[in-house]
Amino acid sequence: MKATRREAISGVSALAATCALPRAAGAQQSWPTQPVKMIVSQAAGGAPDVICRLLTERLARVLGQSFVVENRTGAGNVIGVQMAARAAPDGYTFLWATAAALTTNVFTVKNLPYDPRKDLVTVARVARGPFVIVANKDLPANTLPELIALAKSKPGELNIANDGPRNFSGLVAAWLNKNAGVSINPVAYATMPQGVQDTIGGRVQLAILAFPAAAPMLKGGLLKPIAVSSIERVTGYESISPIADTLPGFDFYGWLGVSAPAGVPKPIIERLNAEISKLLDDAEFRESLVKLGFYSFGSHSVAAAEKAVSDELELWRKVVGDLGIQPE
C-alpha cells in the first residue's frame, strides 16, 4: 500500500527531528570551537566593564576558547544591546547586560529598537550592585529618618544629585520622595563625578551613587552615608542601614548579567549558564566582585534568571507608572 502524502511528510519530519537530536547534543559538547564575542554597552574601564573582563577571562580558561570583549557604548545602552540582539544566534555573540538595558529602558526610552523579552534570552545574572544615599558631611542628618524629618521641615530646600530622571539613581530619588512624602529636589548631572564634587562642596546636599563611586568618598570622609538602596546590608559597610528599614519594601539595585540573541541553541545557553554558576559560587571570584562594590547572585538556572528579569520588568512598570514618567 502506498503511503499518503501526509504520512510521507510526517516520516521525513520525524527522521529530520531524530537526526537533529545528536546535532543539538553535539553543539553543547563541542561549543565553543572559535572565539566568543561579548558585547558591552558600557565604556571600557568602568566597574561593569571590569567585571565583564574578570568573568570572560575565567570562562576562557574553562571553555578553552578566547572571549573577545567589544565595547559598544551610546544612547543609554541602546546601541550595544541592539547590536547583540541582531547578531546571528549561533552561540558566538553574547551581551553583557545591565539592569537598565533589560528593564528600565523598556519604560523610559521611546521607540526602543529592541524588545528584551522577544529579542534576547537571559543566560545568567552575575552581579548586583546597590546604590547609596550620601550627604555633605555638614548636613544635620546622619540617618534616613533624620533626613526625612529635615526635608519635611525644609520643603524644597534640599537637593540631591543624580544621573537623570530616567536613569537609575534619578528613579530611586523620585521613588524615595514619593514613599517618604518629601520634596527633595533632584538635580540631574550629565556626569556623576561633577555631582559628587558638588555634594562635597555643598552646592547640593545629597547624592545617590553606585557603591564603586561612593566607596572612596566614604572611606576618605569626604561624604557621609545615609542609607543603602538594597534590602540587604552591604559587606564592609554593615553600619549603613537599608532604606527598607525606614520605608519597608524599598529594594533597588543595579545588576549585570549575560544575555544571548533569541534563537541560540538551548544546549549552548544551558552550558554557559552552568559554567557561570560555578564561577558565581567560587570564593575567589565572589571576593573580586566585593572589591568592586558588587555581589554575586550565586548559582541559578536559566529559568530562574529569566523569571527574575520578568519580575523586575513588572516592578519597574509599576515604579515608572506610579511616578508618571513618560518615555523619551
pLDDT average, residue stretch 277-302: 94
In the chain, residues under CATH classification 3.40.190.150 are: 31-128+253-323
Q: Tell me the three-class secondary structure of 178-207, residue by residue.
A: HHHCCCCEEEECCCHHHHHHHHHHCCCCEE
Q: pLDDT at residue 99 above 50?
A: yes
Which grid coordinates are listed for 252? 533597588
In the chain, residues under CATH classification 3.40.190.10 are: 130-245
- The vertex-48 CA angle with 314 and 87, nearest 5°, equals 70
pLDDT average, residue stretch 11-19: 44
Q: Name the more confident of 187 and 25.
A: 187
Amino acid present at 224: K
* Pairing assessment for the beta strands 159-162 and 206-210 based on DSSP bridges: parallel
Q: 161 near 143, Cβ under 8 Å?
A: no
pLDDT bucket at 16, cuts 50 / 70 / 90: very low
pLDDT bucket at 2, cuts 50 / 70 / 90: very low
Which grid coordinates are listed for 27? 553543539
Q: 60 near 29, Cβ under 8 Å?
A: no
224 exposure class (CB count in 10 Å sphere: 0-12, 13-18, 19+): middle
At residue 26, the pLDDT reads 52
Question: What's the CA gap between 168 and 48, in Å, rounded?
Answer: 15
pLDDT average, residue stretch 101-122: 94
Which grid coordinates are listed for 262? 533569541
138 exposure class (CB count in 10 Å sphere: 0-12, 13-18, 19+): exposed
**pLDDT tens figures, 204-245:** 999 999 988 999 999 999 999 999 999 999 988 999 999 999
pLDDT bucket at 3, cuts 50 / 70 / 90: very low
Q: What is the pTM of this model?
A: 0.86
Of 164, 280, 172, nearest to 226 (Cα)?
A: 172
In angstroms, how far is the first alpha carbon of the chain from the final one?
A: 66
Q: pLDDT at residue 253 above 80?
A: yes
- CATH architecture of the domain with range 130-245: 3-Layer(aba) Sandwich (3.40)
Distance of CA 63 to the CA centre of its chain: 25
pLDDT average, residue stretch 82-89: 97
**pLDDT tens figures, 118-169:** 999 999 999 999 999 999 999 999 999 999 999 999 999 999 999 999 999 9
- Domain 31-128+253-323 in CATH 3.30.470.10: no
Task: Return the percentage of the chain with pLDDT > 70, whole number.
Answer: 91
Task: Return the percentage of the chain with pLDDT > 90, whole number.
Answer: 84
Question: What's the CA gap between 221 and 149, in Å, rounded?
Answer: 24
For residue 288, give Cα distances in angstroms to 127, 261, 282, 284. 11, 28, 10, 6
Instruction: State phi, psi for 211 to the nearest 5 degrees.
Output: -60, -40
**pLDDT tens figures, 262-281:** 999 999 999 999 999 999 99
**pLDDT tens figures, 55-71:** 999 999 999 999 999 99
Question: What's the CA gap between 60 and 32, in Å, rounded?
Answer: 10
